[in-house]
Amino acid sequence: MAIGAMFKLGEQKARPGVFTRWYNAGGYGRYSRPLGVGAAVVKSNWGPVGSVITVENGDQVKEKLGTGTGADVVKEIFEGGAYFVHAVRIGAGGTSASLSLTAGAGQSVELRTIYPTSREFYVTVRDALDPSQKELLLYEGGRQIESLTFVAGENEASSLVAAVLVRSKYLTATNTGDGKLTGILNQKMTGGADPETIAEDYTNSFGATETKFFDSITVDSEDPAIHAALHAFVRRKIREGYRMTMFVGEKPSVPFETRISHAKSFNDFAVAYIGNGVETITGILEGATAAARVLGEFISGSYKSSLTGRTITGGTGIHGELTASQYDEAARNGMMAFSLNSDGIPQIDYGINTLVSLGEDEDEGWKKLRRVRTRYELIDRITNKVHKAMANNIDNWDDGRQTLITLANGEIGQMIREGALASGEMIVDPDNAPEGDSAWFKFNNLVDLDGLEKAYLAFGFQY
């Protein structure tokens, strides 16, 4: 007979034998925050309006968002090292560009762009090398961006429409009848216009990102009112348990005193404000594009890496360089800035956020972006471990509470070995006794590490 039949905890079997069960003895997979995921709410001349567009690499930016400042912001997030960007195209209205093709007696094919756009597309319809085929070529800026072949003959119109609907990334099509198409050469699609955008469109679109995970979010605007609206969104998400940051910037043409005032007005560890720009081999990064590059640098590094002294790839100079006293003032008031390192290469001068005046529950460590990210990592690892354990019916008594403590302290030990923490332990809160279904815990001697960013050298000379 088979031995080792299953039994439930507390069950008494009627017959003698050996019985088995298995249970979770406290081992849970380690949680790790996804790395390098950013979000951006932008104006653009391509893509669906008001929904999330996931861009997987820098080469997809034009295909999915088109061109312009909004697309440049997403591109700079990738230049900083991001792996994914969840973008939202804002606005209302707009029209698709269109072109009508003649197809036989009184019949036609109507080509339209999939999205409302101001992009200028040109269409060629001609015979293909294969005499049984024709082809539609789509151009932008003198470059071919798409080629579709379809069956030539009496049913060319419907054949073209079918090919467009199935294979085109840019066009949709309808036809009023069938027949042979009249060839055209480089004919412009007309009537297209981008959606109109106002400040409220940004506010209404922040919520579209709520279905996605991301580390940090930005916008393509330097408008302080839009920055304030984004700040309100980020604060709400943090209260709901989402640990995120935001990056914004203003151009050096804004008076220095105004930039300082705007930076410290946030007074928030979750907000980074970039107050000058950097010259690169491809152009100037300032305001929104500078913030996007720094955001990409921040989310792509290790959770314990610092932005201080991070060089800017492709950087050639500083746009809006500050004086020594202004750099000091920026550091004291939560304004991140670019400077030149000892080799004359542009770098991030100091990896700070906008926290200036500490709140009741904050310490000096919250002023550094590195330590914010380390703390987010610690919180996420422990809360996920505890949540998984509690889902397996942990009892609220000494052994059950000790299970949670063991799991949490295991994560703290791992982060000590990773060089993120110096010490720490979770204990039952001695000032709040467990009761009913609730237990309170606190952390003793929890010390997260900072980077060595300031060295003071004393030279004792003697003769």
Look at residue 28 and tell me whether its pLDDT is greater than 70.
no
Token duo for residue 438:
């609730």
Instruction: Domain 37-91+197-299+307-348: state its class.
Output: alpha beta
Look at residue 122 and tell me whether its pLDDT is greater than 80.
yes
The rounded distance, in Å, linking the Cα atoms of 354 and 245 is: 11
pLDDT band per the 50, 70, 90 thresholds, residue 49? very high
Look at residue 1 and tell me whether its pLDDT is greater than 60.
no
pLDDT band per the 50, 70, 90 thresholds, residue 438? very high
What pairs with residue 42 in β-bridges? 89
Q: Hey, how many other C-beta atoms are within 10 angstroms of the C-beta on 336?
A: 27
Q: What mean pLDDT comes out for the span 303-317?
A: 95
Look at residue 218 and tell me whether its pLDDT is greater than 60.
yes
pLDDT in tens, 137-168: 999 999 999 999 999 999 999 999 999 999 99
Where is pLDDT greater, at 16 or 458? Answer: 458
Q: 214, 83 in Cβ contact below 8 A?
A: no
Q: Which of 297, 101, 241, 121 is nearest to 181 (CA)?
A: 101
Phi-psi region of 328 (alpha: psi -120 to 50; beta: other; left: phi over 0): alpha
The rounded distance, in Å, linking the Cα atoms of 268 and 169 is: 42
Q: What is the 3-state secondary structure (H, E, C) of the chain?
A: CCCCEECCCCCCCCCCCCEECCCCCCCCCCCCCCCCEEEEEECCCCCCECCEEEECCHHHHHHHHCCCHHHHHHHHHHHCCCCEEEEEECCECCECCEEEEEECCCCEEEEEECCCCCCCEEEEEEECCCCCEEEEEEEECCEEEEEEEEECCCCHHHHHHHHHHHHCCCEEEEECCCCCECCEEEEECECCECCECCHHHHHHHHHHHHHCCCCEEEECCCCHHHHHHHHHHHHHHHHCCCCCEEEEECCCCCCHHHHHHHHHHHCCCCEEEECCEEEECCEEECCHHHHHHHHHHHHHCCCCCCCCCCECCCEEEEECCCCHHHHHHHHHCCCECEEECCCCCEEECCCECCCCCCCCCCCHHHHEHHHHHHHHHHHHHHHHHHHHHHCCCCCCCHHHHHHHHHHHHHHHHHHHHCCCEEEEEEEECCCCCCECCECCEEEEEEEECCCCCCCCCCCCCCC
* Confidence at residue 393, expressed as pLDDT on a 0 to 100 scale: 84
Q: What mean pLDDT comes out for the span 271-284?
A: 97
Domain boundaries, the chain: 37-91+197-299+307-348, 98-188, 368-448
Best mean pLDDT range from 29-38, 328-337, 433-442: 328-337
Q: Which of 258, 259, 254 is nearest to 274 (CA)?
A: 259
Q: What mean pLDDT comes out for the span 13-33?
A: 70
pLDDT band per the 50, 70, 90 thresholds, residue 23? low
Where is pLDDT greater, at 53 or 8? Answer: 53
* Confidence at residue 31, expressed as pLDDT on a 0 to 100 scale: 61
The rounded distance, in Å, linking the Cα atoms of 393 and 373 is: 31
Mean pLDDT value across the chain? 93
* Confidence at residue 9, expressed as pLDDT on a 0 to 100 scale: 72
The rounded distance, in Å, linking the Cα atoms of 227 and 261 is: 14
Look at residue 396 and tell me whether its pLDDT is greater than 90.
yes
| Positive or negative: CA dihedral 267, 268, 269, 274 | negative
pLDDT band per the 50, 70, 90 thresholds, residue 21? confident
pLDDT exceeding 70 applies to what percent of the chain?
97
* Confidence at residue 32, expressed as pLDDT on a 0 to 100 scale: 60
Phi-psi region of 198 (alpha: psi -120 to 50; beta: other; left: phi over 0): beta
pLDDT band per the 50, 70, 90 thresholds, residue 27? low
* Confidence at residue 19, expressed as pLDDT on a 0 to 100 scale: 75
Q: What mean pLDDT comes out for the span 398-405?
A: 94
Of the listed ranges 29-33, 70-74, 408-412, the least confidently predicted one is 29-33
Q: 287, 277 in Cβ contact below 8 A?
A: yes
* Confidence at residue 34, expressed as pLDDT on a 0 to 100 scale: 66
pLDDT in tens, 174-212: 999 899 999 999 999 999 999 999 999 999 999 999 989
* Confidence at residue 5, expressed as pLDDT on a 0 to 100 scale: 77
* Confidence at residue 35, expressed as pLDDT on a 0 to 100 scale: 77
The rounded distance, in Å, linking the Cα atoms of 71 and 33 is: 26
pLDDT band per the 50, 70, 90 thresholds, residue 294? very high
CATH code given to domain 98-188: 2.60.40.4290
pLDDT band per the 50, 70, 90 thresholds, residue 335? very high
